[in-house]
Structure 1
Amino acid sequence: MTTLMIEPSELTGTVTVPPSKSMAHRAVICAGLATGQSIIRNIQLSDDIIATMEGMRAFGATIEQDGNTLIIDGCGEAVARTNQEIDCNESGSTLRFFVPLATLFEGPTHFVGRGKLGQRPLETYRELFERQDLRYEAGTSEQLDLTIEGRLEPGTYEMRGDISSQFITGMLLTLPLLDGDSTIEITTHLESKGYIDLTLSVLSAFGIIIKHDDDYRTFEIKGNQRYHAQDYTVEGDYSQAAFWLSAQLLGNKIKVNGLDQKSLQGDREIVHILEQLSSGEEERTIDGSQVPDIIPTVALAASLSKGKTKLINLERLRIKESDRLVATQKELSALGAQIEIVGDQLHIKGVQTLKGGAEVWSHKDHRMAMMLAVASTVCQEPIQLKDSECVKKSYPDFWEVFKEVGGKIDERSMG
């Protein structure tokens, strides 16, 4: 456990945001499934991306690193090693993308992981595997311990869209390689549609074509397609930019570089949300269903914005690396924010400043840790942040960047 003492300080300077973790996951997988050599540029080796790289190596891909570039020789038609084990660490994306992908290869695949990964919902896959009489054996402890075996058959798949879009992405990555056409029918409202757009964009770049209707309720997937090796550059990450853009709104003199203004990333919505918070309106309602990853930092910005803000449709915050609904309310309240949980909503009344002077906890959640770092810049007194090292999950050099732009951290606490 690493505890940091963070002094209030104004951040000044230019930040180049790291590459999109969501797009990097998808690009590494597509390159790993291709025949031939792909070059994936602008990669940051966060814990989550390393988990996906190791997973593709288990399937037979060869991956070499040259600075922030990956050279990937895909497994293509090669048969993976049998009895492979995939360590997903704490990456929900790796787990949910790889479960259907593993059915493309011979032999059983054993999935392990850490933290709360074993508690995150997987019912969608369990039901799917049982319907096709495939092996699906989950351990009984809270730690991830899952073994699957068997090959998915092409056909029609009915899937919920209100639990996680990651299940749908996993199937979209897998079904084009089956020996026959398939259809995915979404049976509920589709949340995090932006992530499906990212999936379709990266698939298209690697030669996979999938058709869908205007409402994203039906996806038509031709079988017998092949991934084609590409030279692909990962764009900047709006999820990570949200912390710096919020810091900017809160009065820090931060300039943010590296973002594609035409990006398909759903978290690009942070730009519009911050505009809404700075509009001077007395009451605002913000729907968080499509952008759960940026809600902690939105809650921070709302806590220091004029008037009242309701953040609604936050059910899925409860099944992230932490229960972000509870974590956000608890830690911001400890710093002096006026924020309460009402059902699956956060109700926030803006205050002029945060007092600080408290010990807060990241809940071992990377997005909570980074939000609290930004919060420290507008506190009157220092804060102590427990379990700060969890930023390695998605933004391994966050604390170095934070210091470069003026963040004041007690080095003695960094261990």
Structure 2
Amino acid sequence: MSGTRRAASAHGGGALTGDVRVPGDKSISHRALMMATLAVGRSRIDGLLTAEDVMATAAAMRAMGATIAMDGEQVVVDGVGLGALAEPETVIDFGNAGTGTRLTMGIVAGHPIAATFVGDASLSRRPMGRVANPLREMGALVVARSGDRLPLSIRGPQTPAPIEYRLPVASAQVKSAILFAGLNAPGETTVIEPVPTRDHTERMLAAFGAKVTRTPSPDGLRITVTGRQPMTPCDVTVPADPSSAAFPIVAGLIVPGSELLVRDVMLNPSRTGLITTLIEMGGELTVENERDAGGETIADIRVVASRLKGVTVPADRAPSMIDEYPVLAVAAAFAEGTTRMEGLEELRVKESDRLAAVAAGLAANGVPHATGEDWLEVTGRAARIGGGTVVTHLDHRIAMSFLVMGLAADTPVTVDDASVMETSFPGFVELMRRIGGTIEVEA
């Protein structure tokens, strides 16, 4: 999927200034394509992220019968409807897309079809058992390599069994896969969340006409979908991705003299942990022009360079910022004192062992830190930051985070592979250059 490996280096220069919009939200983009496929009729999607991960999902939906085409700036999806999916003729290659893989597993498990999933070296190391096990309870046959890793094949049952499933670990992907499978099961399928996670799936299911409820209970939040209800087409506007916005936001805070306006950022409460944390650290972030767009809150964020201080980030905040810890560690490297992040066990099973990759990147660039199985401490304002080469392990967020570090470091920071950034943020280098960042990519 990603192109030829190319190293990239970032180094400090002048202040970052300007007005930018990062690409569309990856989570919303995946789900919009999937739900439009499960609806009968035509849906239009504005602002769809066209990165490799989302294009892999588009290819998977086409393989199951959807017609997906561009109409000017919009993506038009003619869906086939619940219960009418075609069986893919060949394997589905998801590249690096963990979200696309896990959610599509749920869709296939709810239909009497079979599909085989493959991915790149990074995705093939990631565990799929947390999704596969509840889908097996619903009657799906799942066969995979040891540890439930890709390549993986699923055959859905003729009639999926509705289940009640308590999440052992907070995971919006596991929740979403079960709800997707439950859409074609008779009766009610319920997921119990002890800790709330991203609710994009529930919000969008309701927009597409599914019957879905969220009910607080003593054992957690109960999310229930009623199966075998027709889904109706819906037009979706994809807001800017807060996980992608995190990179210019942190860069604007740590590069002296900077001031940026980052536009149209989604501020779903389940995604704002980083903003909350950066404000606690003393970051001058102002939310402007807050408004509603298709059931999601969006706003512009004004960023002014700030003198940050270390804080403790509680474990219960992890679900709302799980993808942002690498760039938070970069912010912490420039903060006064020590920042402690807890509840990070999920980082061990991302595109890379993200916790280990972040620690190695900090070490390579002279940043004092300590780490355990599920925590990281970063002590900021070392005598000299930078000068190292970071191994990305095919992880786009590691690459972008440490390029942001380089923009404020004393000496340049190099990442071994810039091509991986295309999986979620096409145009990252160009956007950062446009606001004044100096990033050089190997020819």
State if a TM-score over 0.5 links the two structures. Answer: yes
1:161–1:212: structure 2 CA closer, same or farther, 3 Å change rule? farther
For 2:242, the aligned partner's letter is: Y
1:342 to 350, 372, 380: 372
Matches within 5 A, 1:254-273: 254-260=259-265, 263-264=267-268, 266-273=270-277
Per the normalisation by structure 1, the TM-score is: 0.91
1:42 and 1:234 in contact (8 A); partners too: yes
For 1:164 and 1:126, locate their aligned partners in 2 and report how far apart those are by CA, in whole Å: 13
1:354–1:292: structure 2 CA closer, same or farther, 3 Å change rule? farther
For 1:330 and 1:260, locate their aligned partners in 2 and report how far apart those are by CA, in whole Å: 30
For 2:280, the aligned partner's letter is: Q
For 1:98 and 1:358, locate their aligned partners in 2 and report how far apart those are by CA, in whole Å: 39
1:53 corresponds to: 58
For 1:177 and 1:92, locate their aligned partners in 2 and report how far apart those are by CA, in whole Å: 23
Per the normalisation by structure 2, the TM-score is: 0.85
Match of 1:309, SS state, is strand
For 1:337, the aligned partner's letter is: V
Q: Does 1:139 align with 2:141?
A: no
For 1:296 and 1:281, locate their aligned partners in 2 and report how far apart those are by CA, in whole Å: 16
For 1:378 and 1:82, locate their aligned partners in 2 and report how far apart those are by CA, in whole Å: 48
1:99 and 1:170 in contact (8 A); partners too: yes
Q: Does 1:289 align with 2:311?
A: no
1:181 and 1:223 in contact (8 A); partners too: yes
For 1:54, the aligned partner's letter is: A
Moved more, 125-134 or 167-176: 125-134
1:26 to 17, 27, 31: 31
Moved more, 387-396 or 281-290: 281-290
1:173–1:144: structure 2 CA closer, same or farther, 3 Å change rule? same
Moved more, 154-163 or 397-406: 154-163
2:188 and 2:227 in contact (8 A); partners too: yes
1:275 corresponds to: 279
1:166–1:9: structure 2 CA closer, same or farther, 3 Å change rule? same
1:5–1:223: structure 2 CA closer, same or farther, 3 Å change rule? closer
For 1:161 and 1:259, locate their aligned partners in 2 and report how far apart those are by CA, in whole Å: 34
2:180 to 173, 180, 204: 173
1:129–1:230: structure 2 CA closer, same or farther, 3 Å change rule? closer
After superposition, the CA RMSD in angstroms is 2.4
For 1:16, the aligned partner's letter is: R
Q: Does 1:16 align with 2:18?
A: no
1:20–1:161: structure 2 CA closer, same or farther, 3 Å change rule? farther
Match of 2:264, SS state, is coil
For 1:109 and 1:212, locate their aligned partners in 2 and report how far apart those are by CA, in whole Å: 31
1:353 and 1:380 in contact (8 A); partners too: no
Match of 1:177, SS state, is coil
1:370 to 363, 375, 400: 400
2:342 to 312, 332, 342: 312
2:171 corresponds to: 164
1:157–1:334: structure 2 CA closer, same or farther, 3 Å change rule? same
1:358 corresponds to: 388
| 1:246-303: CA deviation from partner (whole Å, max 9, x where unpaired) | 1111135242332357x32533222211111127897621035212100011111112
Matches within 5 A, 1:97-246: 97-131=103-137, 134-139=140-145, 144-151=150-157, 153-162=160-169, 164-178=171-185, 180-186=186-192, 189-190=194-195, 193-195=196-198, 197-214=199-216, 216-246=220-250
For 2:239 and 2:245, locate their aligned partners in 1 and report how far apart those are by CA, in whole Å: 12
For 1:6 and 1:283, locate their aligned partners in 2 and report how far apart those are by CA, in whole Å: 24
For 1:364 and 1:254, locate their aligned partners in 2 and report how far apart those are by CA, in whole Å: 31
1:335 and 1:358 in contact (8 A); partners too: yes
Structure 2: give runs of 5+ residues left out of the alignment. Answer: 284-306
| 1:334-353: CA deviation from partner (whole Å, max 9, x where unpaired) | 22211111342111222166
For 2:205, the aligned partner's letter is: L
For 1:284, the aligned partner's letter is: V
Structure 1: give runs of 5+ residues left out of the alignment. Answer: none
2:182 and 2:225 in contact (8 A); partners too: yes
Aligned length: 407
